[in-house]
Chain A
Amino acid sequence: MKDFIIKRLAQTLLVLVFVSMFAFSIIYFSPGDPLYLYTSPAVSSYKMTEEQLNDMREALGLNGNVAQRYVNWAGKMLKGDWGLSISNHQPVKTQILDRLPNTIGLMGAALLLSILISIPLGLLAGYYKNRWIDNIISGISYLGISLPAFWFGIMLIIVFSLHLSWFPSAGMRTIGVNSAMDVIRHGVLPVIVLSVNNTAVFVRYIRSNTIEQKEEEYVMTAISKGVPKMRVLRGHVLKNCLLPIITMVGMNFGTLITGSFIVESVFGWPGLGTLCLDAINSRDYTMIMGITMLACMVLLIGNFLADLLYGFADPRIKQGREK
């Protein structure tokens, strides 16, 4: 087990380094200049001289080739210095940490809701394969997979905000109000949009796994012994369906950070998604890199935890590793 953890940690670090190099290069080679923010005629009719621009590049760490700039950035990151945002000169780490709870709250709630809904639906659809209940659940899940988030979000806003006035159309708080209930009210619609797609995907996975498990001899034995169907599903099939659920949740850990870009934008939710989109538009490489690395780390940690949890969910895997 110890060797396994060390091996996985080493892999994780290697992946982090490769992702950072890849992401940095993409930003470096993409067209556009971060100094556009300061040199556009829309900002001032004064055009800076080459000398003034060079001084500014130097001050912002924008001079040098891609390798020099990457080494410079990575060196600072290793010391815990995420740098200053190019667009507003405020520390990147502080800005990310300020917005992080908003995104994790939204995505975490959506992920949790997806798991809660998809497990019973997936089990039912799988257990009653090709029956009316399976057809309905499968039909809805196909619809859920196909719905574009921005369209679905706007539809929900039109119905529940404009026509029924049940929920506010956008934002995270009513101005002047600072209560948890108010945040929950604002979060209902974006969470529904975010969880629909996840739920649909999870249901498909669990359904196919349930169908597989249902054919297993231990399930047949239990049914033939007269164990109630629900108890078979809950006590036997569900336990054996846990593996793919753990994989999916592990894979979806990264989306805690990056999964809500479009939905945050539609609902005006002040999370990392809107922060990152603004950073991309202004070529704010320190901010883009900060968010990318955070998302990457969370994804890797999620996968790592999923690997560890496998052992607990299925002792055969644990034994295999130890051998």
Chain B
Amino acid sequence: MKKRLVSLLLCLGMVSTLFAGCGSSDGEKQSESSGSTEGTKSGGTESDTLIIPVSATVTSLNPLLESMAEGTLQLSPYSDELYYVADDETRYYLAESCEVSEDGLTYTLKLKDNLKWHDGEPITADDVIFTADCNADTDNGAGFTNVVFAGEEKVKYEKVDDLTVNFTIPSPSASYFEVLGKLQIIPAHAFDGSTDIKSAEANLTDIGSGPYKLSEFNDGESVVFEKFDDYYGGAPQIEKVVFRVISDPSVQEVAFKNGEINYLLVSSDATAEEFENVDGAELHQLAEGRVKYLAWNKYCATWENRDAVKAVFLALNQEEIVKGAYGEAMGLPANTIFSSQNLFHDDSMKGYEQDLDEAKKLAKSSGLEGKTIKLHYNTDRGFMEDTALMIQQQLKEIDVNVELEGIDANGFFDVVFTDQADYELYLNEYGASGDPDSVVAGMYDGTWGINVDTSEEILELFRQGRATNDMEERASIYSELQKKAQEEYLVYPIAYPSYCFVTTSNLKGAEEYTTTPVFEDYTKLYFE
């Protein structure tokens, strides 16, 4: 009996030891505030820590190397941009001002005085120059390369004084003001001036400029930021911001209901509905600034007769697709190739309207009737599969059979941003906020969507829109461009997705700004 008891105890000991190996050996608490770090039951009590779930921790704390959505989300409290261009104003963060010369070629960027890195060193023009150099070294794959290259030509930049840098672009580009504003800078001293930043150790140290500085980086588990008292905009009101890894959306929901996190990104209409009237939770809906669209592949022989394209566009019922695939909370019908978050979006236009009789006639006359066509969609993007299924159903009405093929994000662009001719349609999306002379233009001018059949007339309108800084003139150019794109059946804009999230109701200030991913300015957030 005694022997058996000893064996049992030994076994239990082994199980515990295996687990203990996962943790640290010191067995002491690192922080006194652990009680409050696990959050509260749906906004019940006060807390000093904002906890946001993420699917993975960032692999680097360098904003130049983490410019995808989840990287931007996690580094937002930690690293500031120069300024943000909104519809009606420019909000300056690290920059004091940015003046554009009369010829539209030189941008004089002036930093605020007394800015500090998290290590206490001053932020100067040298850091801006160093950051630009790092972006110019294309082997880094840095996210702000568009600041130092205009097409294949290089942008010139030079230090004027300790706080001022001049950027000179080769030809006028109306979107450059916005592009430059988004730049996040890194400290030259942390990298010893070396622009080969890819595998620098400094990438995992505190190189931030934002309202929160690094407290703990637990790879694969969490990133903990604490407030930076020397922040130029004043110390933030919430003590800590934590990004905690909970990769499964269902588990995130449970953790939110359990009070373990304060924020939940909503990915379905049903979840939005569930949280709409829950005590202790507050639902926020923002336009995400993206366009989800259906494109036809100009290299595919099926579309030699343009009436076949028209037949497809007229056969689709956009309202039904958006309602069925997105639901009321998660998207709105798109009316042009610009999103509602783009400057110069024409909200007076109407999207494509269904006309089944005409669609049937065109399908027959163009030879599309009775054919089987292939549609690719990106399986990693929300609502794509449902949208594809609805398109498949609707095109049956004109006797067109659609074969669906989902591809993950990585493989998807290898197929659709090429001149392959063996598929007819694809569903895709692009970022469309702020100036349209950025990603939107790139989707149609041959930079990205090379299989989109953009006419010379539309390309010329994009060029004209880029070349002038006169806002009225640009509004007129882009209005004409949006109409022209619709007349030419360029692509079928389906939906403007919503960026929907829930916060515990004791978190205030979340509605202050409507930029995505959240939150543009963490100093505005506080717990009630």
Contact = CB atoms under 8 A, between A and B. Distances in A.
A306 to B, nearest CB: 19
Given A43-B67, A106-B18, A171-B245, 8 more contacts: A52-B138, A169-B251, A171-B221, A172-B221, A176-B224, A180-B19, A187-B22, A274-B56
Category for how many chain B residues contact A: 35 or more
B431 interface: yes
Contacts, number: 227
Interface string A2-34: 000000000000000000000000000011110
A225 interface: no
Contacts of B245: 170-171, 268, 270, 274
Nearest to B142: A44
14 contacts: A35-B141, A41-B431, A46-B145, A98-B219, A169-B246, A171-B222, A171-B246, A175-B216, A178-B27, A180-B16, A268-B245, A268-B246, A270-B218, A270-B221
Interface string A276-291: 0010011100000000
Interface stretch (A140-148, A156-164, A210-218): A156-164
B36 to A, nearest CB: 9
Contacts of B145: 44, 46, 48
Contact of A268 (B21, B33, B242, B248): B248
Nearest to B69: A42
A177 B414 contact: no
Nearest to A185: B19
Contacts of B431: 41-42
Interface stretch (A64-72, A109-117, A242-250): A109-117
Contacts of B447: 47
A90 B61 CA distance: 13
B171 to A, nearest CB: 16
Nearest to B442: A45
Output the residue of B11, B69, B258, B414 with the most chain A CB within 10 A.
B258
A57 B392 CA distance: 39
B353 to A, nearest CB: 30
B225 to A, nearest CB: 11
Contacts of A274: 56, 220, 245, 247
B30 interface: yes
A270 B220 contact: yes
Nearest to A180: B20
A266 B245 CA distance: 10
A41 B33 CA distance: 41
A32 B408 CA distance: 8
Contacts of A208: none
Interface of A: 30-33, 35-49, 52, 55-56, 59, 84-85, 87-90, 95, 98-99, 101-102, 104-106, 108-109, 112-113, 116, 150, 154, 157-158, 161-162, 165, 168-180, 182-184, 187, 265-268, 270-271, 274-275, 278, 281-283
10 tightest CB-CB pairs across the interface, nearest first?
A: A270-B220, A38-B141, A31-B411, A176-B31, A88-B59, A32-B410, A180-B20, A183-B23, A89-B199, A46-B146
Interface string B35-68: 0011000000000010100001001100001011
B38 to A, nearest CB: 6
Interface in B415-460: 415, 430-431, 438-439, 442-443, 447-448
A108 B18 contact: yes
A252 to B, nearest CB: 15
B218 A157 contact: no
A144 B121 CA distance: 59
Given A55-B138, A109-B15, A165-B258, A41 B221 contact: no
A276 B27 CA distance: 29
Contact of B413 (A40, A46, A84): A40
B152 A49 contact: yes
B251 A154 contact: yes
